[in-house]
Structure 1
Amino acid sequence: MDTPTPLFSLLCFFLFSLFLGEEQHVVEGSRVWTFGFRPNMLFVFGDSYADTGNNRKALASSWKLPYGITFPGKPAGRFSDGRVLTDFIAGYLGIKTPVPYRYRKELGGRLKYGLNFAYGGTGVFDTPAPEPNMTTQIDFLQQLLNDSVYSKRALKTSVALVSLAGNDYSNYIATNGSTAGFPAFIGRVVNQLKVNLKRIHNLGVRKIAASALQPLGCLPQSTAQFSFEQCNESENALVGLHNQLLAQAVNDLNKETNSSSFFVLDMYNAFWNVFNQKQAHQVSPTFVNPFEPCCVGVSAAFSCGSVDENGVKQYTLCSNPKSKFFWDTVHPTEQGWRAVYSTPALQSSLKQFW
């Protein structure tokens, strides 16, 4: 047998090194997986920050123009001009965005990627939204297990995103809840969320990410009173209490289960990373006035997507959604979500999925 030439030996060494590298790292979209646990399914619970089309078309603004004009080009049930948090996290995990629960029968072939049970307007408790709260959303997954659509064994390779963006608190304020009673109510919300997280884990889901509250005082619905130039710091102080209690709840759950199954997505600092953490009234280096929405009703009586009895638009729309962080008075644009996803705060949080 001929002696291998130096070039041939070098080529063999290169291919062997490449093979070893592929064993240790798998490139999935924008993400490199280290050798070990790799999620195959994503289950989503929560509200409009994560909903990709569960709300009924007759009731939700997310099914009206101009929602969805960036992606997929028409209204599709997302509360944005395009993609939302769920889409970016699915991309990070290297799997397709799980289909909404309402389409589970029509799109049965996609169930292998998980399911999205989130409904816009909902919370851990009942809200004015005529849609299932988080407890009922978890009931849906329980029923699918009972019906053998999924098995506990299959769920061992799944992860969950649990979004809580503040609907419980909006409802508390709307129903004349007292300011003095707010801290106690926050405790009730987080305690119920803790029950929900543990239940999802008991169903067999391997890793569970619970979103911290974003700075509610910086949403356009709050900054409007300041001409979209500064946040409501009183609201953000209450957000701080919620996030503190949530961090403690997650820590307790990991101790109870002797695991690292539960973790928090740092939405609060992710939003502030985008706002640049400078004085709240200053313009972001990425977005034109980050607190001012792209789509807004022509008056307090109307909202984005509203039309009158003749079909005349009762909202105004910015010329370029990519220049705005917020789409409407509550929800980010697709570009806003992309910026949040790309922040050090969220990227650091996402690493806990493995």
Structure 2
Amino acid sequence: MDSHEHIFSLLFLSLILLFTGADASGQHLNFRPTKLFVFGDSYVDTGNHGRQVSFSWKDPYGITFPGKPSGRFSDGRVLTDFIAKYLGVKSPVPYKLRRSMAQHLKYGMNFAYGGTGVFDTSTPAPNMTNQIDLFQQLIKDKAYTAADLSYSVALVSVAGNDYSHYINQNGSAEGFPSFIASVVNEMASNLKRIHELGVKKLAVSGLQPLGCLPANTAPSTFRRCNDSSNVLVAFHNSLLTQAVSKLNQQTKDQSTFVLLDLYNSFMSVLAHPSTHNIQNQFQPCCVGVSSGYSCGDVDDNNFKKYNVCDDPKSAFFWDLAHPTQAGWHAVYNKLQTTNVLQQLVVQN
């Protein structure tokens, strides 16, 4: 082979590698998911609750996107929508709407219900085990094939409802660490089960700084985080990091289970709000007119019992527990600065 032929051969090989996403060892570098399956709570729910039972279907929820209430616990898009965008797929259809929006099943499905936890909470909706049961039944019914699942990603959100339920049930402070351990152990079992059903990649959210949610900063007039709450969050996240690492060791691939560090993403935005065009970072945009009312409440005469800030785009929190679309966008941008999301599109 002369030098010209050799050069052309190298160019040809480079083009093959470029378009097949392979390296010289034959390993595929790019994983192109076509479906997103979502499990968890209000941080990822896009409309599974009934209109009569959830404030996520009431004004002013959804005023930024899609312009009316859509079952999202925000003024607009939530974490699910941003992860779907990153993966290049449409936000998956809520399980409750699967029959009326059957044409969207090809993008995956959202099984998340706001207010739920790993275990049962006061919200009468499927906990995470039950959500996975629904997913498994769809697989049995052949709604999704093994080939479908091999090109899918799961997003798993645990935003703290198990812990608020524990407190509301008068759980003891002494028993909190062991309860946190039981929550994380159950999460690990759930993640393993989703993977065993055929999902190739799983993104699980770490716990956000619960002490910085408006519900917990209200006593300081929305000025300071509650440090004692965040100590418990740190313990949860430490155990979860260990559990995810162990799961990856079992699958012999460090990018099968990916941990989304919501704690540091939230804290980074809250510590530097102006960088993200956010003002009064702890102040919720939508609040009840008094302690007896919440965002979305009306009285018996249908008069509003809440106030909405002038510019939701400049607020990080929408209500007492949930970020605005702008808040989620800022968190998503922080996640993008690490290589964590990139791991979701790398071939095992």
Scaled by the length of structure 2, the TM-score of the pair is 0.90
Residue 276 of structure 1: how far off its partner (Å): 2.7
With 192-201 and 249-258 compared, the bigger mean Cα shift is at 249-258
Residue 35 of structure 1: how far off its partner (Å): 4.7
Contact residue 261 and residue 335 of structure 2 kept, 8 A: no
Number of the residue aligned with 1:349: 340
Number of the residue aligned with 1:298: 289
Contact residue 62 and residue 80 of structure 1 kept, 8 A: yes
Number of the residue aligned with 2:224: 230
The alignment yields a C-alpha RMSD, in angstroms, of 2.1
Match of 2:135 among 138, 141, 150: 141
Between Structure 1 and Structure 2, how many residues are aligned? Answer: 329
* Counterparts of 1:200 and 1:253, CA distance in 2: 12
Relative distance call for 1:283 and 1:335 in structure 2 (3 A) is closer
* Counterparts of 1:197 and 1:114, CA distance in 2: 17
For the residue of structure 2 that corresponds to 1:69, the secondary structure is coil
Percent same amino acid among aligned pairs?
Answer: 57
Q: Does residue 105 of the first structure (1) align with residue 94 of the second (2)?
A: no
Residue 319 of structure 1: how far off its partner (Å): 0.8
Relative distance call for 1:97 and 1:345 in structure 2 (3 A) is closer
For the residue of structure 1 that corresponds to 2:340, the secondary structure is helix
Match of 1:23 among 3, 19, 24: 19
Contact residue 276 and residue 330 of structure 2 kept, 8 A: no
Residue 19 of structure 1: how far off its partner (Å): 6.6
Contact residue 65 and residue 75 of structure 2 kept, 8 A: yes
* Code of the aligned partner of 2:160: G
Number of the residue aligned with 1:96: 90
Match of 2:116 among 122, 127, 138: 122
Number of the residue aligned with 2:73: 79
For the residue of structure 2 that corresponds to 1:247, the secondary structure is helix
**CA offsets, 1:129-164, max 9 Å, x none?**
111100000001100011111122320110100000
Which structure has more relative contact order (CA 8 Å, sep 6+)? It is: 2
Match of 2:252 among 255, 258, 282: 258
Relative distance call for 1:135 and 1:318 in structure 2 (3 A) is same
Residue 299 of structure 1: how far off its partner (Å): 1.6
Number of the residue aligned with 2:271: 276
Number of the residue aligned with 1:247: 241
Match of 2:319 among 328, 344, 348: 328
Contact residue 260 and residue 335 of structure 2 kept, 8 A: no
Relative distance call for 1:309 and 1:18 in structure 2 (3 A) is farther
* Code of the aligned partner of 2:37: F
Contact residue 335 and residue 341 of structure 2 kept, 8 A: no
Relative distance call for 1:86 and 1:300 in structure 2 (3 A) is same
Residue 17 of structure 1: how far off its partner (Å): 12
Q: Does residue 338 of the first structure (1) align with residue 329 of the second (2)?
A: yes
* Counterparts of 2:337 and 2:171, CA distance in 1: 32
* Code of the aligned partner of 1:200: I
* Counterparts of 2:140 and 2:253, CA distance in 1: 26
Q: Does residue 36 of the first structure (1) align with residue 36 of the second (2)?
A: no
**CA offsets, 1:146-197, max 9 Å, x none?**
1111122320110100000000001011111111111111001000101100
* Code of the aligned partner of 2:260: L
**CA offsets, 1:4-53, max 9 Å, x none?**
xxxxxxxxxxxx9997796267xxxxxxxx95211111000000000000
* Counterparts of 1:265 and 1:343, CA distance in 2: 10
Contact residue 215 and residue 271 of structure 1 kept, 8 A: yes
Match of 1:163 among 138, 154, 157: 157
Match of 2:148 among 137, 154, 157: 154
